[in-house]
Amino acid sequence: MPEGPEIKTNSLFVNSVCNGKIFTGKPIRSAVAKSPEIDFDCNKYTISSKSRGKELMLVLQCECTVCDKMHLLFRFGMSGKFMFTSKEQLPKHAHLQFYTAANTSSAEQCVLSFVDARRFGSWHITQEWGQERGPDVVYEYDAFCDNILHNLHQETIFNKPICEVLLNQKYFNGIGNYLRAEILFR
């Protein structure tokens, strides 16, 4: 699933389902996950999201003034996605789980989870976007264009078949195999 548009859609989805919700407790990591534990044990926090190319940033914001925000950078690999379900319907392959507080407006406890069947995806505790990845074509259109126009003279990068150039994430952050195929076909 996940190339730029799907990452953006996932980010909008997270913001939609988490709007007005309070989350609680330390996020739960599955036993087989390779990405780090999240030491953010907060009684009441909110979750918001933003995206840039193939990366999605979750922001955990504690309601108290004592705790700091925590930023988590996600890459989705080949099969990553976010889901929001009841605790009872937690999907298989939910490798990082954020639980809503039980006493919020909805009666049952819900879970925002990062689901990734193939486990090629990852998360990192950082607020920096990937250093080797270029601007987002939607959210940073001018920077996206400038980045390409100012580097077009670099023959080792751009003097190649366009089907190879389009996969260079330093300039086309968010383009993957299916998008380059669609773009070149059209």
* Known catalytic residue at 2: yes
User: Least CB distance from residue 113 to DNA, whole Å?
Assistant: 14
Q: Which is nearer to DNA, 94 or 111 (CB)?
A: 94
User: Least CB distance from residue 52 to DNA, whole Å?
Assistant: 11
Contacts with DNA, residue ranges (CB under 7 A): 1-3, 6, 32, 54, 75-79, 92-93, 117-120, 132, 169, 176-178
Exposure string (b/e) for 30-48, b if CB count within 10 Å is 16 or more?
eeebebeebebebeebbbe
Q: Which is nearer to DNA, 32 or 149 (CB)?
A: 32
* Known catalytic residue at 92: no
Q: Which is nearer to DNA, 6 or 42 (CB)?
A: 6
Q: Count CB atoms within 10 A of the CB of residue 182.
A: 11
- Measured CA to CA in angstroms, residue 39 lies from 25, 36, 106, 149, 156 at distances of 10, 9, 26, 42, 43
User: Which residue is catalytic, options 6, 54, 55, 81?
Assistant: 54
**Cα–Cα dist 183/104, whole Å:** 45
Is-contact 55 6, C-beta < 8 A?
no
* Known catalytic residue at 36: no
User: Least CB distance from residue 177 to DNA, whole Å?
Assistant: 4
**Catalytic positions, written as ranges:** 2-3, 54
